[in-house]
């Protein structure tokens, strides 16, 4: 009957899924509201100023943060910059081709930039070294190594963990020469002011909400919802790029579940940081 | 391509306006729409909300490259052109937003192995741009005579620093506010087709924005009806 089931899955993937959902479970054994095992490795890259590797089930994302010096803009002379960029290389899934970033990678990068902006994860003023002259630019490069759905959640956790891990060399501006002086020996952490965590749902048949969808579930679903909550349970993003319509009650249900998931992930993050000793 | 609003190429009689004083309910800026301002595309519409103006054009169902062809539905493509400069990452994410709305509402399975392209040209951004793009897209698709499951519209709400929620913010309210919520709602159940937020807000505020937007969408759908019925009564 194993081959029968495989044949059923190939011929009628949606019907196959429905037969599981009727029993309130999914083909991988999870309940509808259950997340995959999430693991976190902090400080995995020695060449980056801060880094983290996150696995949500099979989905794997690595994030490296690099600090560089630049001049602040004239509109915001007391602020630094945080520039996130997600790469979805062909190595992570056959759906991606080599070449310039596709729409999905660009939209995800914009999503991360919006989350950084909305949640004040790091106060941009903290990145300013000398007003109008010198500030830090944090290049947050994210790379997906294995694409098995729910990329936004994995990216948001990886970004947050890498920023927690980040240390920057001490920099001062010399009074006589007016040039930047970098003390490489002395490294200081950057204060992380908020802990936004993203939670994604895929909408199946317009009514069922599956939490933490796999790649397969994303392909069969008709739309996704991603909600980002922070430590004070405020919403930093309610992101639904199209898909089948949801009622106000369904949206509220997503928010409630996202708040719970946020607390779980923050607990995992704090525990991992404690075990690493930072 | 986009003619400025004050030249003679725009037939002003065709632009109907709803004044916020006359209509009851929550205040929206004056809404205007002209269908088929362009002759070459299969369907086009210019949509204005206050000073925000977007020009939308639809091509299709037309030929599609084999690599992008889908055997069970039409391939949808949305192109958003900013007023100045080159499109960047922000435009890509806005394109994704609008395309998601089209995927949910357009009966694309009626035209398999074809492409349907929607081009949105920003004429002026004075707040609530994405909402205006969504409404412009709906009117352009209707003008092209493509089958839709239901109509849809975009509504934006800004939450000010003191917590008051303002519908359809202008550029200043958008910039000075604490958060901005843009929703795309369908006409059949007034449910959320798409949602995008900026800034921090709590769950109650989001629900209040949603309730206000649903109320406001009634007015937009009424406007669609007026606009289209006036258009067809002319010929």
pLDDT on residue B60: 84
B8 pLDDT higher than 80? no
pLDDT on residue A188: 94
Q: Does residue A110 lie within any of the structural domains?
A: yes
- The span from the first CA to the last CA of chain B, in angstroms, equals 26
CB B194 within 8 A of CB A242: yes
CB within 8 Å: B198 and A118: yes
Q: What is the DSSP string of A196-257?
A: -EEEEEEEETTTEEEES--HHHHHHSS-EEEEEE-TTS-EEEEEB-SSS-B-HHHHHHHHHH
**A residues 5-34 near B, CB within 8 Å?**
none
Q: Does residue A6 lie within any of the structural domains?
A: no
pLDDT on residue B143: 96
Compute and round to an integer the Cα radius of gyration of chain A.
21
| pLDDT bucket at B5, cuts 50 / 70 / 90 | very low
Any CB–CB contact under 8 A between B158 and chain A? Answer: no
**Cα angle at B155 between B116 and A262, to 5 degrees?**
95
Residues of A in contact with B180 (CB under 8 A): none
Question: E-strand spans in chain B?
Answer: 31-35, 43-49, 52-62, 75-81, 115-124, 152-159, 165-167, 179-186, 192-199
A198 pLDDT higher than 90? yes
| pLDDT bucket at A1, cuts 50 / 70 / 90 | low
Structurally, how many domains does chain A consist of? 1
DSSP state, B201? B
**A215 CA to chain B: closest CA distance, Å?**
18
Residues of A in contact with B207 (CB under 8 A): 248, 251-252
On average, the pLDDT of chain B sits at 90
Residues of B in contact with A107 (CB under 8 A): 89, 92-93, 96
The torsion angle over the Cα atoms of residues A108, A112, A115 and A116, rounded to 10 degrees, is -160
A16 or B14: which leads in pLDDT: A16
pLDDT on residue B23: 42
How many CB contacts within 8 angstroms connect chain A with chain B? 113
On average, the pLDDT of chain A sits at 94
pLDDT on residue A37: 96
Domain extent, residue A261, equals 30-277
Instruction: Mutate one of A117, A235, A239 to test the B interface: name it (highest B CB count within 10 A).
Output: A235
Q: Does residue A221 lie within any of the structural domains?
A: yes
pLDDT on residue A144: 98
**B12 CA to chain A: closest CA distance, Å?**
33
Name the token pair of A65. Answer: 């943060």
pLDDT on residue B49: 96
CB A173 within 8 A of CB A183: no
* Mean pLDDT confidence for A151-158: 97
What percent of chain A is predicted at pLDDT more than 90? 86
Which residue bears the tokens 């003023």?
A125
A126 pLDDT higher than 90? yes
* Mean pLDDT confidence for A68-96: 96
CB within 8 Å: B179 and A118: yes
Q: Does residue A121 lie within any of the structural domains?
A: yes
A4 or B130: which leads in pLDDT: B130
Q: CA B190 to CA B182: how far, in whole Å?
A: 14
Q: Does residue A237 lie within any of the structural domains?
A: yes
| pLDDT bucket at B7, cuts 50 / 70 / 90 | very low
Where is A113: in which H helix or E strand?
helix A103-119
Q: Give CB contacts under 8 A, 24+ apart, made by A29-37.
A: A32/A208, A32/A209, A32/A210, A32/A211, A33/A211, A33/A257, A34/A211, A34/A212, A35/A211, A35/A212, A35/A261, A35/A264, A36/A212, A36/A214
Q: What is the DSSP string of A2-40?
A: HHHHHHHHHH-HHHHHHHHHTTTB-TTS-BTTPPPPEEE
CB B151 within 8 A of CB B133: no
* Mean pLDDT confidence for A51-74: 97
Q: How many residues does chain B have?
A: 235
* Mean pLDDT confidence for A177-182: 85
A138 pLDDT higher than 50? yes
**A192 CA to chain B: closest CA distance, Å?**
17
A132 pLDDT higher than 50? yes
Specify the CATH number for the domain of residue A240: 3.30.230.70
pLDDT on residue A172: 87
CB B94 within 8 A of CB A107: no
Residue B201, Cβ density class (10 Å: 0-12 exposed, 13-18 middle, ≥19 buried) = buried
Per-residue pLDDT tens for B137-159? 999 999 999 999 999 999 999 99
CB within 8 Å: A106 and B186: no
Q: Which residues contact B180 (CB under 8 A, 6 or more apart)?
A: B156, B157, B158, B159, B169, B174, B197, B198, B199
CA-nearest residue to B178 within chain A is A118
Bridge-based pairing of strands A81-87 and A134-146 is parallel
B10 pLDDT higher than 70? no
CB B76 within 8 A of CB B137: no
**A residues 73-112 near B, CB within 8 Å?**
103-104, 106-107, 109-111
Per-residue pLDDT tens for B84-136? 999 999 999 999 999 999 999 999 999 999 999 999 999 999 999 999 999 99
pLDDT on residue A191: 95
Any CB–CB contact under 8 A between B102 and chain A? Answer: yes
A236 pLDDT higher than 90? yes
Candidate ranges A3-7, A180-184, A201-205; pick with highest mean pLDDT: A201-205
- Other beta carbons within 10 Å of A173: 13
Give the pTM: 0.92
B22 pLDDT higher than 80? no
3-state secondary structure of A276: helix
3-state secondary structure of B142: helix
B12 pLDDT higher than 90? no
Any CB–CB contact under 8 A between B179 and chain A? Answer: yes
B227 pLDDT higher than 70? yes
* Mean pLDDT confidence for A68-77: 95
B25 or B204: which leads in pLDDT: B204
Instruction: Mutate one of A245, A250, A251, A255 to test the B interface: name it (highest B CB count within 10 A).
Output: A245
- Other beta carbons within 10 Å of B137: 29
- Other beta carbons within 10 Å of A251: 22
* Mean pLDDT confidence for B55-83: 95
| pLDDT bucket at A228, cuts 50 / 70 / 90 | very high
A276 pLDDT higher than 90? no
* B114: β partners: none
Q: Does residue A25 lie within any of the structural domains?
A: no
Residues of A in contact with B212 (CB under 8 A): none
Mean pLDDT lowest among B17-31, B67-81, B191-205: B17-31
pLDDT on residue A277: 65
B76 pLDDT higher than 60? yes
DSSP state, B66? G
Q: Does residue A138 lie within any of the structural domains?
A: yes
Q: Does residue A256 lie within any of the structural domains?
A: yes
Mean pLDDT lowest among A64-78, A175-189, B11-25: B11-25
Where is A60: in which H helix or E strand?
strand A59-70
CB A225 within 8 A of CB A189: no
Edge-to-edge strand ranges of the sheet holding B152-159: B165-167, B152-159, B179-186, B192-199
Bridge-based pairing of strands B75-81 and B115-124 is parallel
| pLDDT bucket at A6, cuts 50 / 70 / 90 | confident
Q: Give CB contacts under 8 A, 24+ apart, made by A178-181.
A: A180/A69, A180/A129, A180/A134
B11 pLDDT higher than 80? no
Name the token pair of B39. Answer: 């002759």
3-state secondary structure of A260: helix
């Amino acid at each position: 009957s194993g081959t029968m089931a495989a044949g059923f899955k190939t011929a009628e993937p949606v019907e196959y899924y429905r037969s599981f959902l009727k029993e309130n479970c999914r083909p991988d054994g999870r309940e509808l509201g259950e997340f995959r095992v999430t693991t976190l490795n902090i400080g995995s890259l020695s060449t980056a100023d801060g880094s983290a590797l996150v696995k949500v089930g099979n989905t794997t994302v690595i994030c490296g943060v690099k600090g560089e010096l630049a001049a602040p803009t004239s509109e915001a002379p007391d602020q630094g910059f945080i520039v996130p960029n997600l790469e979805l290389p062909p190595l992570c899934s056959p759906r991606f081709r080599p070449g310039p970033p596709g729409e999905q990678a660009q939209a995800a990068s914009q999503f991360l930039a919006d989350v950084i902006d909305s949640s004040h994860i790091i106060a941009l003023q903290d990145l300013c070294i000398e007003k109008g002259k010198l500030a830090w630019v944090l290049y947050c490069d994210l790379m997906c190594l294995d694409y098995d759905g729910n990329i936004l959640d994995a990216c948001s956790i990886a970004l947050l963990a890498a920023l927690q891990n980040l240390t920057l060399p001490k920099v001062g501006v010399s009074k006589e020469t007016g040039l930047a002086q970098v003390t490489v020996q002395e490294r200081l952490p950057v204060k992380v002011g908020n802990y936004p965590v993203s939670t994604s749902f895929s909408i199946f048949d317009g009514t069922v909400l599956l939490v933490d969808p796999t790649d397969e579930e994303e392909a069969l679903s008709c739309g996704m919802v991603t909600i980002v909550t922070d430590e004070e349970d405020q919403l930093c993003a309610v992101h639904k790029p199209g898909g089948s319509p949801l009622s106000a009650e369904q949206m509220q249900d997503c928010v409630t579940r996202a708040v719970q998931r946020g607390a779980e992930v923050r607990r995992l993050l704090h525990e991992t940081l404690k075990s690493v000793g930072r | 391509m986009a003619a400025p609003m004050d030249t003679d190429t725009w037939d002003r009689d065709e632009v109907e306006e709803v004044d916020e004083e006359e209509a009851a309910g929550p205040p929206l800026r004056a809404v205007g729409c002209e269908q088929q301002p362009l002759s070459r595309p299969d369907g086009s519409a210019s949509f204005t909300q206050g000073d925000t103006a977007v020009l939308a054009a639809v091509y299709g169902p037309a030929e599609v490259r084999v690599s992008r062809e889908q055997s069970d539905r039409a391939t949808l493509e949305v192109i958003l052109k900013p007023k100045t400069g080159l499109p960047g990452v922000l435009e890509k994410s806005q394109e994704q937003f609008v395309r998601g709305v089209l995927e949910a509402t357009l009966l694309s399975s009626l035209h398999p192995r074809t492409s349907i392209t929607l081009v949105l040209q920003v004429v002026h951004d004075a707040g609530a741009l994405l909402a205006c793009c969504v409404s412009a897209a709906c009117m352009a698709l209707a003008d092209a005579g493509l089958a839709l499951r239901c109509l849809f519209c975009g509504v934006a709400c800004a939450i000010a620093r003191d917590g008051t929620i303002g519908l359809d913010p202008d550029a200043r309210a958008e910039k000075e506010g604490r958060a901005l919520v843009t929703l795309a709602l369908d006409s059949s159940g007034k449910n959320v087709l798409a949602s995008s937020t900026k800034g921090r807000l709590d769950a109650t505020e989001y629900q209040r924005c949603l309730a206000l937007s649903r109320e406001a969408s009634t007015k937009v759908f009424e406007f669609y009806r007026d606009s289209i019925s006036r258009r067809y009564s002319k010929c």
